């Protein structure tokens, strides 16, 4: 029992220092430093606003479409930052793996936490534009932390699988790059979901069963406007939430089992 | 209580070394489909090793390059898993496979002390308490707020060793890391270790 406590103490200490280090190095040698964490989503909003709200007008009848887009992109970017960042994290720390026996999962967890800090900065900017644009948060906004928690777990699970598989098969890097591209267009990030529903309700169901679509649409539904189409709306039943939740749970269990099985041989294989 | 600090029984370690034969695009494709054709060479690094180290004992391993000394140490440290056989370790083991593991050249000396300390299992508070000692042992008082990339290699090693000796261990694994710094600093290190040895019941390899 004491031994167990000692082990997690080590993991915790290491996690804290790795996240701190990552944060210290991130904006090194830049004049504005941490300010960039806020400036990046700010400029992103400007670009989105000009391109999609003023020129292309892909929003259709969605109110507050600028901040609606921004929230979607911010959540999606978090997912990409975690998964792509962690992909090579084990391999990049190979030198360390070969010399110190520390819990391997800490490396992946650290990447996930530093991306999470970044997400908080981004959400602050989203909040700012919600306030400026008079968005209409409603009672479903209470569920937002749960939605973020779901995103956190899903991104982490995928990261564990990717980073462990990447040690043996470097092809995973290219495969994931392609999948990310597909995912970006298969998820209602840049377009209004009603565009899909108007074409085919079957396609709409498939797109919505993706946990990322469900997460992004639920977040928008609670924070921006209750006119957002959600999973319950597409399937006409709230039991449909079992599909993405089940995907997340399965990904979580598989990732833990897989990572535990693969991690003892990381030192030899990287 | 077990008398032995370290017990190694019939340990063998094989490394599987895949032979890279894909030197053209065509052979790359053929090797994918003819998986059996891919030669995997097995390197038998250690074969049937058994030994015991009593508590409070110094234990040295000598051998030629590539004879498996470091592999043995890495298995004791839990970095490699043995192919067969068992290893038992009683008490907290700290490996000095290499000094300054995890040092980041973009961070200052001070920040590296905290990062390296975490790898050795020290919390921030524990490091803060012995920070002065670490710095004065390394004789680097004026340089702690400089980035590590501006340190000379001797300075880096001094800082690394100063960190390493902080580790509270029952068993110390040392892999050719004592050839450190100038003559003065070396004497200091050996004195420190000899002292340490007397104070705590421990074993070194």
The ipTM value here is: 0.77
* Pick from A13, A24, A97: CB nearest B121: A13
Write the secondary structure of chain A as one string of H (helix), E (strand) and C (coil). Answer: CHHHHHHHHHHHHHHHHHHHHHHHHHCCCCCCCCHHHHHHHHHHHHHHHHHHHHHCCCCCCCCCHHHHHHHHHHHHHHHHHHHHHHHCHHHHCHHHHCCCCCCCHHHHHHHHHHHHHHHHHHHHHHHHHHHHCCCCCCHHHHHHHHHHHHHHHHHHHHHHHHHHHHHHCCHHHHHHHHHHHHHHHHCCCCCCCHHHHHHCHHHHHHHHHCHHHHHHHHHHHHHCCCCCCCHHHHHCCHHHHHHHHHHHHHHHHHHHHHHHHHHHHHHHHC
**Bridge partner residues of B147 (DSSP):** B108
Q: What gap in Å lies between CA A130 and CA A249, rounded to an integer?
A: 32
**pTM of structure:** 0.86
Radius of gyration over every alpha carbon of chain B, rounded to an integer in angstroms = 21
Q: Is B31 exposed, middle or buried (0-12, 13-18, 19+ CB in 10 A)?
A: middle
Average pLDDT for residues A122-150, to the nearest whole number? 92
Q: What is the distance in angstroms between the Cα of A256 and the nearest Cα belonging to chain B? A: 20
Q: What six digits make up the tokens of B65?
A: 């390059």
Q: What is the pLDDT of residue B200?
A: 41
Q: Is B176 on the interface with A (CB under 8 A)?
A: no
Q: How many Cβ atoms sit within 10 Å of the Cβ of residue B196? A: 15
- The dihedrals phi and psi of B83, each to the nearest 5 degrees, come to -70, -40
Chain B interface includes A144 (CB < 8 A): no
How many cross-chain Cβ pairs, A to B, lie less than 8 Å apart? 63
d(CA A112, CA A119): 10
Which contiguous run of DSSP H or E holds residue B8? strand B4-18
**Given this model, what pLDDT does residue A74 score?**
94
Residues from chain A contacting residue B100 (CB–CB below 8 Å): none
Q: Spell out which residues of chain A touch residue B79, defining contact as CB-CB under 8 Å.
A: 97-101, 267
| pLDDT higher than 50, residue B199 | no
Q: For chain B, say whether A28 makes contact (Cβ under 8 Å).
A: yes
- Counts of helices then strands in chain B (DSSP H, E): 6, 6
Residue of B nearest to A24 (CA): B107
B87 touching A, CB under 8 A?
A: no
Whether residue B68 lies within 8 A of chain A, CB to CB, comes out as: no
pLDDT in tens, A193-213: 888 888 888 889 999 999 999
Burial of A173: CB neighbours in 10 Å, binned 0-12, 13-18, 19+: middle
Q: What is the pLDDT of residues B91-107, one digit of tens each?
A: 778 777 777 778 888 88
The arithmetic mean of pLDDT across residues B59-67, rounded, is 81
Cβ B101–A96 below 8 Å, yes or no?
yes
Q: Does B141 touch chain A (CB under 8 A)?
A: no
pLDDT digits (tens, 9 = 90+) for A205-262: 999 999 999 999 999 999 998 888 888 888 888 889 999 999 999 999 999 999 999 9
Instruction: Pull the structure tokens for residue A76.
Output: 């999606």
Average pLDDT over residues A94-99: 85
Report yes or no: B22 at the A interface, CB cutoff 8 Å: no
Annotate B152-188 with b (16+ C-beta within 10 A) or e (fewer): eeebbbbbbbbbbbbbebbbbbbbebeebbeeebeeb
CB contact (8 A) between residue A96 and residue B79: no
Which residues on chain B are in Cβ contact (under 8 Å) with A267?
A: 74, 79-80
**B3-28, pLDDT tens digit by residue?**
777 888 888 888 877 665 555 556 55
**Residue B70 has what pLDDT?**
82
Q: Which two tokens stand for residue A206?
A: 């498939």
Residues 94-113 of A with CB under 8 A from B: 95-102
**Of A159, A157, A167, A193, residue with least CA distance to A60:** A193
CA distance A181 to chain B (A): 26
């Amino acid at each position: 029992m004491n031994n167990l406590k000692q082990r997690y103490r080590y993991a915790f200490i290491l996690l804290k220092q790795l996240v701190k280090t990552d944060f210290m190095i991130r904006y090194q040698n830049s004049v504005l430093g941490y300010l960039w964490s806020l400036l990046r989503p700010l400029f992103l909003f400007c670009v989105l606003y000009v391109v999609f709200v003023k020129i292309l007008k892909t929003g259709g009848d969605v109110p507050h479409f600028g901040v609606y887009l921004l929230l979607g992109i911010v959540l999606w970017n978090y997912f990409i930052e975690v998964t792509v960042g962690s992909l090579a994290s084990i391999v990049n720390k190979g030198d360390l793996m070969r010399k110190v026996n520390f819990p391997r999962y800490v490396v992946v967890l650290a990447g996930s936490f530093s991306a999470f800090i970044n997400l908080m900065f981004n959400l602050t900017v989203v909040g700012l534009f919600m306030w400026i644009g008079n968005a209409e948060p409603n009672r479903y906004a209470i569920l937002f932390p749960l939605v973020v928690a779901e995103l956190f777990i899903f991104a982490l699970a995928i990261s564990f699988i990717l980073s462990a598989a990447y040690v043996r098969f470097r092809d995973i890097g290219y495969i994931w790059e392609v999948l990310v591209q597909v995912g970006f267009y298969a998820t209602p990030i840049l377009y209004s979901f009603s565009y899909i529903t108007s074409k085919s309700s079957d396609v709409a169901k498939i797109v919505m069963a993706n946990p990322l679509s469900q997460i992004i649409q639920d977040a928008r539904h609670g924070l921006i406007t209750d006119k957002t189409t959600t999973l319950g709306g597409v399937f006409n039943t709230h039991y449909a939430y079992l599909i993405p939740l089940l995907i997340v749970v399965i990904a979580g269990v598989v990732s833990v089992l897989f990572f535990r099985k693969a991690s003892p041989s990381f030192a030899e294989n990287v | 209580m077990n008398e032995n600090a370290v017990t190694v029984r019939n340990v063998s370690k094989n490394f599987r070394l895949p032979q890279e034969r894909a030197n053209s695009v065509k052979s790359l494709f053929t090797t994918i489909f003819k998986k059996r054709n891919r030669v995997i060479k097995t390197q038998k690094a250690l074969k049937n090793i058994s030994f015991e180290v009593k508590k409070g004992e110094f234990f040295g391993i000598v051998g030629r390059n590539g004879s498996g000394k470091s592999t043995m140490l890495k298995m004791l440290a839990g970095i490699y898993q043995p192919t067969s056989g068992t290893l038992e370790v009683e008490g907290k083991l700290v490996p000095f496979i290499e000094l300054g593991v995890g040092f980041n050249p973009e961070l200052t000396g001070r920040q590296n002390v905290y990062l390296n300390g975490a790898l050795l299992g020290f919390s921030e508070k524990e490091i803060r308490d012995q920070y002065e000692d670490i710095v004065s042992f390394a004789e680097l008082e004026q340089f702690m707020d400089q980035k590590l990339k501006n340190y000379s290699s001797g300075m880096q090693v001094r800082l690394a060793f100063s960190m390493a000796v902080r580790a509270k261990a029952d068993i110390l694994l040392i892999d050719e890391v004592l050839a450190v710094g100038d003559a003065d600093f070396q004497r200091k290190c050996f004195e420190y270790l000899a002292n340490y040895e007397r104070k705590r019941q421990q074993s070194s390899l």
